Chain A
Amino acid sequence: MAAVPAPAREGGGTRSGSAAVRRRHTLAAWMFALPFMVLFLVFMAGPVLASLTMSFTDLTSRDLRDPLAVNLVGLENYTKLLSDERFLRSAFNTAYFVVVGIPLTMGLALAVAVALNSGIDRFRTFFRVGFYTPVVTSIVAVAVVWRFLLQPDSGLLNTVLGWVGIDGPNWLQSTTWAMPSLIAMAAWRNLGTLMVIFLAGLQTIPRDLHEQAMVDGAGAWRRFRSITLPLLRPTLLFGAVLTGVGYLQFFEEPFVMTKGGPLDHTLSTAFFTYNQFGFGNYSYAAAASYLLFLAIVVLTLVQFRLLRSRT
């Protein structure tokens, strides 16, 4: 009886013991996860797949009561989208918003973060709270306020521009200026998020590095280029992805400020999707939203490559 070596028995005991523990934990864990799983599968994961499926059908609002009347149409919605001038216009507008908006927002946020990190010791919290404030506000409310600011004659911006002799345009009614106006507002509202993220990144850069470079005679700009930027690359990547995902979905700004006009020049892809949904073209809207999703994934991957590979 005593021939069974002790270590083996002990090992076996622990193994079956840990298997029992794991079984108990598995049961407990899934009980903990149950409410989340139900809501998650029904209201999130389910719709993501349903959206894809739907985009290959001809579902419209009239089919809501009778889903069996829906036909599979393959890629028809997608081919139709790619020859739909309004969709292409919206894709162009969205690209414009993202391509100009991301560098602008990141540049401003980085400037503020570097300024706040440059060794000033007073009012730091005050400035940080001030620059961050627009982030917490509703885009709808902010868009209403900006529409008022950008009014051609009685607006604040054109009044201020008038002081220095500039006759400002009718910003939101101009096919040239409407989109830059929305981009400026987005940069204003979102730079606070990036500022906080960049500040956290800047604080991980050892101060000694800067001081050594200073001793070696490097100026502020040189140190920024050669020390700050390379070491901040992961943080910049994170910020770019975050901003890009948000900007690709811009919707409230044109909804409130321009209704997508003038002449569709601020119609975003999210707005296009919403409009198609409003017309009852559900499967067409789903296809458009999936193309937008695809763009989000592609942009994220591209940014990873761009900012990773140059280290």
Chain B
Amino acid sequence: MAVDVRRGAPAPATTPAAAPAGAPAGPRRRRATWVYLVLAVGLVVMLAPFLWMVLGSFKPEAELQRVPPTWWPETPSLGNYRQLFDRLDFPRFFANSVLVAVAVTAGNLVFCSMVGYALAKLDFAGKRLLFGLVLAMLMVPGVVTFVPLFVLVSNLGLVNTYPGLILPFLVTPLGVFLMRQFISGLPDELIEAARIDGAGEWRIFSRVIVPLCGPALATLSILTFLSSWNNFLWPLVVAQSEDKYTLPVALALYSIGQNATRYGLLLAGSVVVILPVIALFVALQRYFVQGIATTGIK
């Protein structure tokens, strides 16, 4: 019977912070301490590689090979970075990565929101076919398409060009899916009102829908920019001369080529690839988490 009485006391029991009836505060606090301890150890393991990377990038080559390793750089220097930017063409690779990512993001924002609107708010012949196609392609991995894609791109004469790097990623099924889900949630009354005022579909899309899509567009741009920035297989296949390399391609090829053991250089290169993205992530983490929760992609 006591059980029933306690079940009947909803207000304090449902507030997350309140200790549940019957649980003494002592063990609860002790448990919280354990949870914090485990999480803190986990966090150290998660972030140690990044710390080790940044510290290592300021160490000269000789110091990096020392056994046991030094923790703090004994003679911190920018030598690795200087070499990366002066002797190797990292400014170029960086610019290529930015150019490709910006173009891919812009394309996705425009084209995916257009299809997203049609799929969410217009009733038309072929709608289910189109949406089915989009869903089916969500599953297809890049490794399945890259061979024929290369044959196609090489027949179009686009191997080792920027369009060759950009065009295959200008739209993504995922972007369409995300925009459709978001626009479906917008109220139909807005669109009806605009139609009564005599607005055409394009005008409704550009003046009514797009201004309301801020959060979805923010999530989409971050996710697209990120996947383009980190994309590897396709740029590795298509960029054949150094002047078209993106950052991951350059870093990977240096790391298995003649610079394979020059860790100072490679770590500095990794910093250049990773740090801008981490900065972006920490600044905009709200949108990342939203995107993951709604679409489940990374």
Contacts and interface: CB of A to CB of B under 8 A. Distances in A.
Interface of A: 21-22, 25-26, 28-30, 32-33, 35-37, 39-40, 42-48, 50-51, 54, 59, 64, 112, 115-116, 118-121, 123, 125, 127-149, 153-156, 159, 162, 188, 190, 193, 196-197, 200, 207-208, 210-212, 214-216, 238, 242, 245-246, 248-249, 251-252, 255-256, 259, 270, 273-274, 277, 282, 285-286, 289-290, 292-293, 296-297, 300
Given A28-B122, A45-B137, A149-B52, A251 B143 contact: yes
Given A118-B35, A139-B230, A256-B256, 14 more contacts: A26-B122, A35-B114, A39-B170, A48-B137, A48-B144, A129-B285, A138-B248, A140-B232, A141-B273, A148-B53, A148-B266, A154-B64, A155-B69, A246-B298
Given A120-B35, A289-B143, A138 B273 contact: yes
Contact of A145 (B13, B122, B237, B270): B270
Contacts of B48: 156
A155 B52 CA distance: 10
Given A48-B145, A196-B293, A145 B267 contact: yes
A259 B278 CA distance: 27
Nearest to A242: B296
B169 to A, nearest CB: 8
B146 interface: yes
B171 A39 contact: yes
B60 interface: no
A131 B47 CA distance: 8
A26 B124 contact: yes
Interface in B278-298: 278, 280-282, 285, 288-289, 292-293, 296-298
The main secondary structure of chain B at its interface with chain A is helix
Contacts of B13: 207-208, 211
B184 to A, nearest CB: 14
A211 B233 contact: no
B232 A252 contact: yes
Contact of A120 (B36, B49, B64): B36
Nearest to A293: B144
A48 B296 contact: no
Interface stretch (B19-27, B72-80, B83-91, B212-220): B19-27
Nearest to B286: A125
Contacts of B196: none
A3 to B, nearest CB: 33
Nearest to A40: B171
B49 A142 contact: yes
Contact of A208 (B14, B66, B127): B14
Interface of B: 3, 6-7, 10, 13-14, 16-17, 20-23, 31-32, 35-36, 38-39, 42-43, 45-50, 52-53, 56, 64-69, 110-112, 114-115, 117-119, 122-127, 130, 133, 137, 139-152, 154-155, 167-168, 170-171, 173, 176, 201-202, 205, 226, 229-230, 232-233, 237, 247-248, 251-252, 255-256, 263, 266-267, 269-270, 273-274, 277-278, 280-282, 285, 288-289, 292-293, 296-298
12 contacts: A21-B123, A35-B110, A35-B114, A36-B111, A40-B173, A137-B274, A138-B248, A141-B270, A148-B52, A196-B289, A212-B7, A296-B141
B132 to A, nearest CB: 12
A22 B124 CA distance: 6
B143 A140 contact: no
Contact of A289 (B144, B151, B248): B144
Nearest to A188: B46
Given A138-B277, A144-B251, A252-B252, A131 B42 contact: yes
Contacts, number: 304
B77 to A, nearest CB: 18
Q: Which of B22, B32, B143, B292 has the most CB atoms of chain A within a 10 A radius of its CB?
A: B143
Given A25-B123, A134-B46, A136-B281, A64 B115 contact: no
A286 B39 contact: no
Contacts of A130: 43, 46-47
Contact of A256 (B23, B36, B255, B274): B255
Contacts of B141: 245, 248-249, 292-293, 296
Contacts of A132: 281, 285, 288-289
Given A197-B296, A256-B256, A112 B39 contact: yes
B293 A197 contact: yes
Contact of A140 (B35, B127, B251, B267): B251
Contact of B277 (A30, A50, A136, A216): A136
B171 A133 contact: no
